[in-house]
Amino acid sequence: MALAGVRVIELAGLAPAPFCGMILADFGARVIRVDRTKGAMTVDTQARGKRSVALNLKNPKGVAVFKRLCVQSDVVLEPYRKGVMEKMGLGPEDLLKENPRLIYARLTGYGQSGSYAKAAGHDINYLAMSGLLSMLGRSSEKPYAPLNLVADFAGGGLMCAFGIVLALLERSRSGQGQIIDTSMVEGAAYVGSFMWKSRSLGLWNRPRGENMLDSGAPFYDTYCTSDGKYMAVGAIEPQFYQQLIKGLALDDADLPAQMSVSDWPQLRQTFTRVFATKTQAEWSRIFDGTDACVTPVLSLDEVLSHPHNQARGSFFKDSQGEISPRPAPVLSRSPAEPCHSRDPFIGEHTRSVLKEYGFEQAQIEQLLSAGIIECNEAKARL
């Protein structure tokens, strides 16, 4: 796999950093998640392929163990508020001094500088600060956050993984590590570059929800079918729009021009009325195999059995029967091989990882009895 041999230490976080760690693990990195001790519960639902070490970083001995792990690693990934790592003596200066090849990835909402750097926040706040949230939502409605996909995952976890891969690539030339400052505000804004760079085209001149790609245009929207399901329509280009009209059995001569913005409400009413006359399956049969850019809106339960997704193996079932998306993109020679086993319990791999990193059995027992580490391999065997 592309990242085989890369050793990553991920400090347990909420959503973006776990996703970043999972991407790295899917593509072959050996990812160790460092969890808190004392019966902490994991909130990591993105733990595929990771191992867990339970380590008390509030104790200097725990800090020393962490440093020893980092000396032998390529990447450390930390998702805490600015200053938290430094307070524990684990800031980039401390760790890079001991391992100059280390890539120190910081994944926060507001970045490491600026007046918001230390503030708590979540995806919706970062999305708001990126400018994107102001553009999301239906006409005459308040801004609407599309789950926590844009800032947490696209602008955060994925962007940080990209930064790590870039830093690994650069290190292969320079031999040096570096610090990555991932701000989810900036990551989300960067993902939204299209919005910025296409403003001059007039694509976003109208209020929220009234532009071509934000559900303003009737040919770029969803429509309810007679069985209460939905179809997604993305027929932008005239030749594809014509196929939409044909599939709906409408006559273009009876309709206003596609790009006549003032007629969009009327056109939407027509499409709404027609889509409501057939089931989703019926519309799918009509539009499948055409270039009308019309597809069913599939639920998470339906995607697995869709013939196209099945043909590509786009989703897979792990050993627990849990379905999730296959890692993307697909590399021809060194594709990702997602782990099929269950997620780790907190501390399940403390002992084996410490041994792998050169700790003696007696040292491990001392750390255990002092409450610096926790070992939960017994729980894993139950």
Least separation in angstroms between residue 95's CB and ligand L4ZMGOQ5 is 15
Q: Would you say the C-alpha torsion 59, 61, 65, 66 has a positive or negative sign?
A: positive
Least separation in angstroms between residue 157's CB and ligand L4ZMGOQ5 is 10
Residue 44 designated active-site: no
> Which residue in the list 122, 263, 306, 318 is annotated as catalytic?
122
How many Å apart are CA 107 and CA 153, to the nearest integer? 11
Q: By C-beta, is 56 or 130 nearer to ligand L4ZMGOQ5?
A: 56
* Assigned token pair, 42: 């994991």
Asked, as a colleague might, if the bond just before 79 is cis with ω within 30 of 0, I would say: no
* Assigned token pair, 95: 């760790």
The angle, 0 to 180 degrees and rounded to 10, between the axes of the packed helices 238-247 and 280-287 is 130
Largest CA distance in the chain: 85
Q: By C-beta, is 56 or 284 nearer to ligand L4ZMGOQ5?
A: 56
Looking at this protein, which amino acid is placed at residue 65?
A: V
How many Å apart are CA 233 and CA 223, to the nearest integer? 8
Least separation in angstroms between residue 86's CB and ligand L4ZMGOQ5 is 10
Q: By C-beta, is 29 or 63 nearer to ligand L4ZMGOQ5?
A: 63
* Assigned token pair, 334: 């060194």
* Assigned token pair, 22: 């999972």
* Assigned token pair, 43: 């909130």
- Residue ranges binding ligand L4ZMGOQ5 (CB under 6 A): 11, 13-16, 34, 36, 41-43, 55-58, 79-81, 84, 87-88, 108-109, 120-123, 148, 152
How many Å apart are CA 334 and CA 344, to the nearest integer? 25
Least separation in angstroms between residue 51's CB and ligand L4ZMGOQ5 is 15
Q: By C-beta, is 37 or 178 nearer to ligand L4ZMGOQ5?
A: 37
Going from the C-alpha of 159 to that of each of 84, 163, 241, 337, 378, the distances in angstroms are: 22, 6, 34, 21, 37
Residue 122 designated active-site: yes
Least separation in angstroms between residue 11's CB and ligand L4ZMGOQ5 is 6
Could you give the angle at the alpha carbon of 83 between the alpha carbons of 81 and 84, nearest 5°? 65
Looking at this protein, which amino acid is placed at residue 152?
A: D
Q: By C-beta, is 29 or 107 nearer to ligand L4ZMGOQ5?
A: 107
Q: Are 156 and 182 in contact (CB under 8 A)?
A: yes
> Which residue in the list 123, 152, 214, 221 is annotated as catalytic?
152
Least separation in angstroms between residue 107's CB and ligand L4ZMGOQ5 is 7
Q: By C-beta, is 121 or 247 nearer to ligand L4ZMGOQ5?
A: 121
Q: Are 103 and 168 in contact (CB under 8 A)?
A: yes
Question: Which residues are part of the catalytic machinery?
Answer: 122, 152
